[in-house]
Structure 1
Amino acid sequence: MYSLNKLSYPQRLFVWLLGYSLLMVGCFVVFQYHREKEFKAEEIDKQLQLINTYILNELSEGYDVPDIKLDEFKPFDNIRVSVISDKGHIIYDNTLDSLPKTNHLDRQEIRNAVLNGSGYAVRRHSESTGNYYFYSAKKSDEGNIVRTAVPYSVSFSGLLQADYGFLWIMGIITLVMCILGYFATRRVGLHIIRLNRFAENVENGAQISDTEPFPHDELGEISNHIVRLYARLQQAVADRDSEHRAALHEQLEKERIKKQLTNNINHELKTPVASIRVSVETMITHRDLSEEKQMLFLQRCLTNTERLQRLLTDVSLLTRMDDGSTSIIKEQVNLTDIINDVVEDRQIIAATKGMTIENYISRNIVMDGNPSLLEAVFNNLIDNAIVYSGGTKIKIELIGMGGEKVVIALSDNGCGVLSEHLPRLFERFYRIDKGRSRAAGGTGLGLSIVKNAVVLHGGEITAENQNSGGLLFKMTFSRK
């Protein structure tokens, strides 16, 4: 059995009050139910007693019982009429072919009629017919007893049932009492529990929170004042320490990010700068180089200059996004048109690599966004698939659109990546194959730009390997 000690104090208080209320209402309902049933039985008995009186009057006028007509008495049909002598023997019964020899003075209705002049029995089994009847008996001045009975059928049983409307009303009253009792005990219990918890926390030197107020009454107001005063004092000390730690952490984090970004940029700049320098020095030192060689070195300088420009552009874009969404201007755009333009622009480049881009998005997707950032998302993902996937097909699909969210998938049928690379795929300057990435002209910032751009549009992006091969990117955008 579940112990009350395992319940909280308000719960125990409510259980006791609930038990008391249910006991009180239950006793009243049972008492009223029996009173109502008894009242209805007496009403039926009064109607049958009218029939008994009528029969006795007819008998006193010389009529025989079989000649007495009872058709006018409603709502009872199939009334059983018996005449019983003062000795308890049945001398007439309209439902029996042969009269029983048993003495009926021990029957409840007969016994009461002998003692009080009338009596009734609600439901008693008849040994003569084998049925159940409601009996009503009345004694004549000569001592004989006339008894009428009606079969105790289902409909008759329903007539004697208590009014269930009353039971429903009492049930509703009980429910209201329970609800009111719950709130009353909860209010008192909250006072006690919170004061006890506050005392324990103060004793243990724990942090006191002022976010859970006491109930609004006199005791609650006093308790609230005490807790607030202590909480404010404790919070003032905590805020001072927290601000100091936050400032120190922010300073250290800025220095770490600055140092990391500087190191990464420095590392990325070394290769193209060195290549440009070598090319220029070679051309200066060897003035007699053929025109073909000079063109080769100039082309190398141009290629590395373009790489430097892409790196600076990507770093600038990331810096803008790091400054926060306030520096990014959004407007209402059609994402479907942006994707179509990017696909059309990249289709030729993809064809040179033996790849096709399949765009299955035809439904207009209108949202608040920055066109250049959204273009950067799909440009970088498609370029990434063209350069590194090794596949033959890129597919773009709308996989979910409801409410304020839209979900788009971009996948390829290439080689995918090893599972250990997936968690770091969106890190800045992270490369799976560093030599191959640099040779392809990548800056290592493309997927980082994609992630930041998606986040600035109220969404998220995930990457996973498909069972059929290739990478699958799922992007969720907020349309507001």
Structure 2
Amino acid sequence: MAGSKIRFSFHSRVLLLVLTMSWLLVGTFMVFQYRREKAFKEQLLDCELQMHNRRILDDISRGVSIDSIIGHIGSPLDNLRISLIDNAGNVIFDNNDSTPFPSGDHNSRPEVIEARKSGIGHSVSRYSVSDNCSYFYSAMRGDDGIVIRSAAPYTHSLQEVLKADSSILWIMIAFAIVLSLASYVASHKISLSIRRLNLFAEKAEKGERIYNDEAFPHDELGSIASHIVRLYIQRDEQHREALRQEKDKIRLKKQLTNNINHELKTPVASILVCLELLRDHPEMLSEEKKRELNDRIFANAQRLNSLLKDVAAITRMDEGEEMIEKAPVDLVELVNDVVAEERLRTSMNITVDMPQLKINGNRQLLESIFRNLIDNAISYSGGSEIVIKADNEGNFTVSDNGCGVPDEHLPHIFERFYRIDKGRSRAAGGTGLGLSIVRNAVGIHGSDISVTNDGGLQFRFRLH
């Protein structure tokens, strides 16, 4: 789209930056090395030509003719051209007979200017108009001001001599390629962690469920990214669990409120009916009927009282374990006290078989465990015996020899207000909260409770 900004990925930006720096470094080194090698070889050729220049000047100073010198000295390269230039810049000798004799002021030539200043000078690959050829020039000034200049044709062979060694260039190119590949692998690993972190951030922003099912690279960034994801997942799971628990609490509270309203209606209605009869028609009621009505009022009032106590216990346990105070409790003494009270209201035989046990717990809740289990057996089992056993590890069983319950009801008997036979349960005075209180009380003391049909009901739990 016109005017849109092209966005490169982190991987592309890092790779492009590393490649640019790598090839820039290699290119700079190649240029530097090429120039250094070329300058070095130019100096070698210039030194060799200057040696010939020095020998020629020495022979001339001894009176040897230039033609004789040229004929016997030889040359370092083929077709070497030698010229003598006087102080005025005129060429007074040139051994190249195949071209017109050079004319003009040669004092303007770079190598001649340099030779007159410092004694020697050279010039690389300058074109000669006189013979239509390029030369490498080396010039040297004599004591009398005459400049001798040796010119080697700048042919392919000479270019090969002056060309820098290319092996170092290929080595540097290979190094740059290896560095580029290494940069690609490294930037890919780094960008992999960043891409996955970016995907994680997008999902977290949208509130999507995140799973730690993609492994990060085994490096520092990958380790940090993996740690961040794990911490977020743990925090998210804790948050979801807290929300779930909060929803469960709200649901249970609503359910409890609805059930309480329902459970209150029956005893309240019964009490109201009895009171209305006693208030409006006392003359029509016999003494026996009045006693019956009073007994019914008392029984329903007791049921209301039990219901309120059980609701208070359930509510207190719902507030959380941290709200419940604990202290050292002698379980043998506690169980014997509860059993002694329960024996006063039943003809069932209650047997206790347990070693000396002490735990850190809440006495009231511990009492409610055994009291409700015994009350449940007395009210509903129809049996003749209740047995309470425990071992040295605090593993308890509370069983009766009654009729038990159908297996399909076993998974639900710990639910609040759950009744197998609603009419029979209410007639027995139960609130429907007893076994729920038992389960919560056992849970607050760090365990769970189970139940089986074994010639009656058998409850198993651990207190430690």
Q: TM-score, normalised by structure 1?
A: 0.50
Cα shift readout 1:400-459 (whole Å, capped 9, x = no counterpart):
434xxx101111111111111110110000011110000000000000111111111111
Q: 1:204 to 1:335 in 2, by over 3 A?
A: same
Whole-angstrom CA distance in 2 between matches of 1:443 and 1:247: 30
1:304 aligns with 2:292: no
Quick one: which of 267, 273, 276 aligns to 1:272? Answer: 267
Q: 1:357 to 1:226 in 2, by over 3 A?
A: closer
Partner secondary structure for residue 390 of structure 1 = coil
Per-residue deviation, 1:259: 2.2
Asked if 1:401 corresponds to 2:389, the answer is no
Task: Specify whether residues 437 and 226 from structure 1 end up closer, same or farther in structure 2 by C-alpha distance, changes over 3 A only.
Answer: closer
Corresponding position of 2:399: 411
1:359 corresponds to which of 347, 352, 355: 352
Q: Give, as a single letter, the amino acid of the residue that structure 1 aligns with 2:262.
A: H
Q: Deviations over 1:316-363 (max 9, x none)?
A: 011111111122111111101111111122123221xxx2111112x2
SS of equivalent to 2:373: helix
Q: Check conservation: 1:460, 1:477, Cα contact below 8 A.
A: no
The one-letter code of the counterpart of 1:256 is R
- Structure 1 residues 448 and 211: CA distance shift in structure 2, 3 A: farther
Q: Report the secondary structure of 1:453's partner residue.
A: helix
Q: Deviations over 1:218-266 (max 9, x none)?
A: xx3344456667x49x959x979996x7787666545432321111001
Aligned residue for 2:334?
338
Relative to structure 1, is the Cα distance of residues 224 and 268 closer, same or farther in structure 2, using a 3 angstrom cutoff?
A: same
Unaligned stretches of 5+ residues in structure 1: 1-190
**Residue 384 of structure 2 is aligned with which of 375, 378, 392?**
392
CA-atom RMSD in angstroms: 3.7
2:255 is aligned with 1:260: yes
Distance of aligned partners of 1:370 and 1:254 in 2 relative to their CA distance in 1, 3 Å threshold:
closer
CA contact (8 A) 2:351 2:386 kept: yes
Task: Report the counterpart of residue 378 of structure 1 in structure 2.
Answer: 370
Aligned to 1:460, the other structure's residue is in SS state coil
Paired with 1:341 and 1:430, the residues of 2 have a C-alpha distance of 29
2:327, 2:361 within 8 Å by CA — same for their partners in 1?
yes
* Equivalent residues of 2:329, 2:360 under 8 A apart: yes
2:279 equivalent to 1:284? yes
Separation in 2, partners of 1:247, 1:324: 13
Distance 1:338 1:378 in 2: 9
2:441 aligns with one of 442, 447, 453: 453
1:123-173: per-residue Cα shift (whole Å, max 9, x none)? xxxxxxxxxxxxxxxxxxxxxxxxxxxxxxxxxxxxxxxxxxxxxxxxxxx
Of the candidates 277, 290, 294, which is equivalent to residue 294 of structure 1? 290
Give the Cα–Cα distance (whole angstroms) in 1 for the partners of residues 232 and 370 of structure 2: 48
SS across alignment from 2:460: strand
Change (3 A) 1:423 1:282: same
- The AA in structure 1 aligned to 2:438 is V
- For residues 224 and 247 of structure 2, the distance between their equivalents in structure 1, rounded to whole angstroms, comes to 40
Residue 475 (structure 1) aligns with: 461
Give the alignment partner of residue 420 of structure 1, picking from 381, 384, 408: 408
How far apart in 1 are the matches of 2:301 and 2:401? 33
For 1:393, the aligned partner's letter is E
Contact 1:359 1:396 in 2 (8 A): yes
Taking the TM superposition and a 5 Å limit, the aligned residue runs for 1:50-129 are none
Q: Distance in 2 between matches of 1:433 and 1:246?
A: 35
Amino acid at match of 2:323: S
Matches of 1:349 and 1:390, distance apart in 2: 14
- Bigger radius of gyration, 1 or 2? 2
Three-state SS of the structure 1 residue aligned to 2:344 is helix
Report the Cα offset of residue 294 of structure 1.
Answer: 2.0
1:326 aligns with 2:322: yes
Q: Which residue of 1 is the match for residue 22 of structure 2?
A: none
Per-residue CA deviation, residues 63-94 of structure 1 (Å, 9 max, x unaligned), is xxxxxxxxxxxxxxxxxxxxxxxxxxxxxxxx
The code of the aligned residue for 1:408 comes to: F
Partner SS, residue 333 of structure 1: strand
Structure 2 contact 193–216 (Cα < 8 Å) conserved: no
Letter in 2 for 1:370: N
Distance 1:411 1:240 in 2: 43
Q: Percent identity?
A: 46
CA distance in 2 between partners of 1:315 and 1:412 (Å): 26
Matching residue within 318, 333, 346 for 1:350: 346
Give the TM-score, by structure 2 length.
0.52
Q: 1:272 offset after TM fit, Å?
A: 0.2
Structure 1 residues 261-270 or 295-304, which shifts more? 295-304
* Structure-1 separation of matches of 2:243 and 2:444: 27
Using the alignment, how far apart are the partners of 2:237 and 2:358 within structure 1? 47
Partner-residue secondary structure (3-state), 1:441 = coil
The one-letter code of the counterpart of 1:449 is I
Separation in 1, partners of 2:242, 2:359: 38
Aligned residue in 2 for 1:17: none
The change in CA–CA distance for 1:221 and 1:416 in structure 2 (over 3 A counts) is same
